[in-house]
Structure 1
Amino acid sequence: MHILILPSWYPTHENPLNGIFFREQVHALKNASHQVGVIYPQLRSLILMRKSLFGWPSGITYEDDDGIPTYGLHGWAWLPLIPRQNINLWLKAGERLFERYVSDRGRPDILHAHSCLLGGVLAARLKATYGISYIITEHSTTYSRNLLHSWQRPLVSEALSKASALVTVSPQLGHLLESSFGDAVHPWVWIPNMVDTSFFTAIQYQTKEKNEPFQFLNVGLLTEKKGHIDLIRAFAGQFAGNADVELRIGGDGPIRSYLERLTANLGVNDRVVFLGMLSRDEVRREMQACDAFVLSSHYETFGIVLIEALACGKPVVATRSGGPECIVHNGNGLLVPVHDEIALGNAMNTLRLNLSRYDPEVIRNDCIARFGPRAVIGQLTGLYQKVLHLSEGSPYCGCRKHRL
C-alpha cells in the first residue's frame, strides 16, 4: 500500500523535535512493509529571516530519511497580518510538493493528514483535484482552547466532512469535535498515538542510595498551558523542607525566567532543576533515571510524554486535561483535576510513598500492548484497507454519509 503523509508540522533541521511523533509513526508504517512518503510545507516567520543566512534550506528539498522519501518546501509567511493569505501560500506549497512527489514516486493509494489545520485542508484540495481518498488524524488543542477563528471553521468543517475516515488521538477529543462540528465529524474512531518502544526502554531497577532524592520528571515546552506554575506550587506545597525529593523539568519556553523566580520565591530553587532543551537521547536518559513522571498540563489531546515514560516502566501522575484519561489507570499512575495544586501535590506524594506498588515490567508491557508500534500500526493498516476497499466500489464517494 502506498501512503502519502501530510503532516501539519514536521521535524526540521532547526527544530528536530517538532512533530517527532509523526516521523516515528511514518517509520513504523514503513517497517510494516508499506510504501510511505512525506510532504510538508514550512512557512517561517519573517522575524527569523536573518537566521536564514546561516544555511537554512529554501525552496523544495528532498531527503531520504532512512528509506522514507521526504519532500519539504521552505518559504516565508510573507503576509503576517493577513493569516488567510498565509494559509493559501501554505496550501499552494503543498500542491507543488504533491505534484513533485507524484512525478518522482508515483500516485499514492491514500492520503493521511495529521490535523485539519492545515494538512487536512490540503488533503481535501488534493482529493477534489485528483480523486484520492484521505483520512485525518486530529491532534490539535486548538478546539479545546477555543482558538479556532470563525473564518477557519468552514475550512475545517469541509476537510472533516470529505474525509473517508476521521481518527482522533483520544476519545475526549472525538467527543469535543463532535459537539463542535456535528455530523461533519460523526462517526470517528479512536486510534492513539504510538511510542517507539525500541527506543524508550526500561532499565533494570536499582535500589536507590540513601542520599539519593526521589526524582519527579516533567518534560515539555515551558508555556502557561503546560501547567508548570501549578506543578512548582504543588511541589513546594507538598515537599517544602524535604530534601529527599527533587523535581527535574526538561524543556524551554517563554515563561522559564518566571518559573525560575517562582522556585526561588517558594524556597525550592535548590530542589527544582531546569534542564533546558533536551535531545531525544537526553529525554530517554532522564526518563530512565527518574522515579516517576508528572504531567501538569491544562490541555492535552493525548500526552506523548506519558507513554514515553510508561515505556520506560515509570509510573505517572497526570491531570485530567483531555488526553491522559485514556492513558493513565490504577496500574500505572494517578489522575488529578486540572488547576488543582493541592490534589496534584497529594498525588505526587501518594505515588512516592507507594512506589513499590507499581511494577515497571507490568507498566511497560501494558504500554506496549496499547501504544506500541504493532498495536497502533495494526489499527491504521486496517483502516486504510477499509477505505481503499470502499473507494474501489463505484457507489463510494468518501463523504461523511459513507464514512467508516
Structure 2
Amino acid sequence: MYVLVVSRGAPSASDPLRGVFELDQAKALRDAGLRVVVAALDARSIRHRRHLGISQVSVEGIDVVRLDVALGRLPAALDHAAHAAAMARLWRAVVHRFGPPDLVHAHFSRYAAALMRAGLPGSGATGRAVPLVVTEHDSHLRPGQTSRLRVEDCRVGLGGADRVLAVSSALAAILSSEYGVRAEVVPDVVDIETFAPHPTDRRHRDLHTLVSVGNLIDRKGMVPLCRTVIALGPAFPELRLRILGEGPQRAELEGLLARQDLGHRITLVGRRTRGELARELAGAGGFALFSRWETFGVAHAEALASGTPVLSTPCGGPEGFIGPGDGVITSGFSDPELRAGLTGFLGRLAGFDRDEIARQAAEQFSPQALAGRLGRIYSDLLEGRR
C-alpha cells in the first residue's frame, strides 16, 4: 500500500520541529511495511526564511517532496485559492516522482480543503478512486473562537473526507458539535524510543525540579505557572522550575522573574532539540503546564513516556490520558485552584510509579500502536472500494 501523507512542512536543520509529528506518523507507517511519501506544503510568510519552490529530500529515511511558498496571511477567499493552486503544484510533483498514491492521509483540515478545492484525486466528489483520511489537531479550533478561514476549511476538508480522525475526545466533540462531523479518536504518536527513561536518568532525577515545555505564548499559561511557583516558594524552598521553549512572551516573563523571582527559582532555558527535551524530562521530578487549551497535549504525553508525572489544567486533550496514577489535573484555572493543584502534586511526587507511567504511555502512544490502528483504517477504506 502506497500512502501519501500531506503535511504542513518537514523538519530541517533550521526548523527541526516543523511537521515533526506528521513525520513521526510517516516513519511508523513505513516501519509497519507501508510505502510512504510525505507531501509538505509550507506556506508561511517570507519572514520564515527558506528556499522557495519545489524540492525533494530524504528526512530520516522518508521521501519528502516539499513546496515552499511565501503566502502568509491573506483574505479568506484569496487564501483558499492560493493554497489550492499550491497543492495542485505539489501533487503534480509527487505523482511525477512517485506515481499516484493508493490513499491520502492529510493532516489538518486546511490541507485537506486545499486538496478538494484543487479537484485532485484523493479529494472531491463521491466515488473518487483514492480515499482521503484527515487527522485534525489544530489548536485554533476552539468553540466560538475559530476564524472564518478555519471554519470554511473545516467544512470543506472534513465534510468531504472518507474518514476523519481527531487526536483527542475533546477535539472530536468540537468537530461533532461545530461541524456535524463524526471523528474517530486516534492520538498523536510519541517517539517512545527517544523519551524512554534510561537507568542513569532514574538515578539522577531531582524531585525538587519541575520542567515545562511549550511555546512562550498566552495559551500555554507560562505566566500563571511562574506566578504559582513563586507564590509557593516559602512553603517549598527547594522547588525549581525550568521552562523549555521560545516565543513572544519571553520579555514579559523575564520582567516578571526580575521583579518577583528573587530566589531565582525559575529558569527560561529556551528552545531545545527533541533529544535535549527528553533528557530534561527524564531528570525532572515532574512536568507542569497550565495551558488554557490543548487539542492533544504532545508535551504531556512525552513527559509520561519518560516516566515523569504530569501536572495539567483541565485544558481539553490531556484529560483523555492523564489518570490518577499519572499525575494531577487542577480543578480549574483560578489562582487558588492552580496553587492547590501544584501543592497536591508536589506532595505526591515521591509516590508515583514512574516505570508504570512510562509503560502505559508506550502502550498508548507508541509508533507500533499508531501504525496498527491506521493500518486497519486504511485497509477498511481500500477494501470498501473494491
Checking the alignment, whether the CA contact within 8 Å between 2:11 and 2:59 is kept in structure 1 is no
1:148 aligned partner:
146
CA positional deviation for 1:150:
3.2
- The letter for the 2-side match of 1:71 is V
Indicate the SS of the match to 1:222: coil
Question: Does residue 211 of structure 2 align to residue 217 of structure 1?
Answer: yes
Does the 8 A contact of 1:114 with 1:136 survive in 2? yes
Tell me what 1:176 maps to: 174
Aligned to 2:203: 206
Tell me by how many angstroms 1:13 deviates: 3.9
Per-residue deviation at 1:45? 1.5
* Residue in structure 2 matched with residue 114 of structure 1 by the alignment: 107
Give the aligned partner of residue 124 of structure 2. 128
Q: Does the alignment pair 1:362 with 2:324?
A: no
Q: How does 1:65-84 map to 2 (within 5 A)?
A: 65-77=59-71, 80-84=73-77
Aligned residue for 1:160? 158
Shift of 1:268: 4.5
- TM-score of the superposed pair, with normalisation by structure 2: 0.92
Letter aligned with residue 65 of structure 2: Y
C-alpha distance in 2 between matches for 1:8 and 1:81: 17
2:190 is aligned to: 195
In the alignment, structure 1 segments of 5+ residues that lack a partner are 393-404
Query: Once the two structures are superposed, what CA deviation does each residue of 1:93-146 show, in whole Å capped at 9, x if it has no partner?
Result: 211111111121111111001110134442564223864210111101222164
The whole-number CA distance in structure 2 between the counterparts of 1:175 and 1:104 is: 39
Distance 1:293 1:104, change over 3 A: same
Structure-2 residue corresponding to 1:288:
282
Q: Is the aligned partner of 1:104 residue 2:97?
A: yes
Compared CA separation, residues 213 and 381, structure 1 to 2 (3 A): closer
Cα deviation, 1:264-295, whole Å, max 9, x if unaligned, reads 32235601000011111211111111110012
**Among candidates 304, 307, 312, match of residue 318 of structure 1:** 312
Q: Cα distance 1:371–1:151, how it changes in 2: closer, same or farther (>3 A)?
A: closer
Q: Could you list the per-position Cα deviations for residues 348-395 of structure 1 after superposition, in whole angstroms to 9, with x for gaps in the alignment?
A: 232222223211110111111111112121111111111111122xxx
Of 168-177 and 15-24, more deviation after overlay is shown by 15-24
112-121 or 254-263, larger mean C-alpha shift: 112-121
Structure 1 residue 207: Cα displacement: 6.5
Which residue is equivalent to 2:265?
271
> Take 1:233 and 1:221, find their aligned partners in 2: how far apart are those partners?
17
Tell me the SS of whatever aligns to 1:132: coil
Shift of 1:338: 4.5
Matching of residue 260 in structure 1 with residue 225 in structure 2:
no
The percent identity for this pair of structures is 28
Q: Does residue 93 in structure 1 map to residue 91 in structure 2?
A: no
For residues 375-394 of structure 1, the aligned pairs below 5 Å read 375-392=369-386
Rate the CA distance shift 1:22–1:81 in 2: closer, same or farther, 3 A: closer
Note if contact 2:112-2:158 (Cα within 8 Å) is conserved in structure 1: no
Instruction: Report the count of equivalent residues.
Output: 379
Instruction: Please identify runs of 4+ aligned residues in structure 1 that moved more than 4 A.
Output: none
* TM-score normalised by the chain length of structure 1: 0.88
Measured in 1, the distance between the counterparts of 2:143 and 2:242 equals: 27
Query: Residues of 1 paired with 2:266 and 2:234: CA distance?
Result: 11
**In structure 1, what is the Cα distance between the partners aligned to 2:255 and 2:384?**
58
Q: Give the corresponding residue for 1:243.
A: 237
The one of 322, 327, 330 equivalent to 1:333 is 327
Contact 1:145 1:299 in 2 (8 A): no
- Kindly provide the amino acid, as one letter, of the partner of residue 163 in structure 1: A
8 A contact 1:123–1:134 mirrored in 2: no
C-alpha separation in 2, matches of 1:47 and 1:118: 21
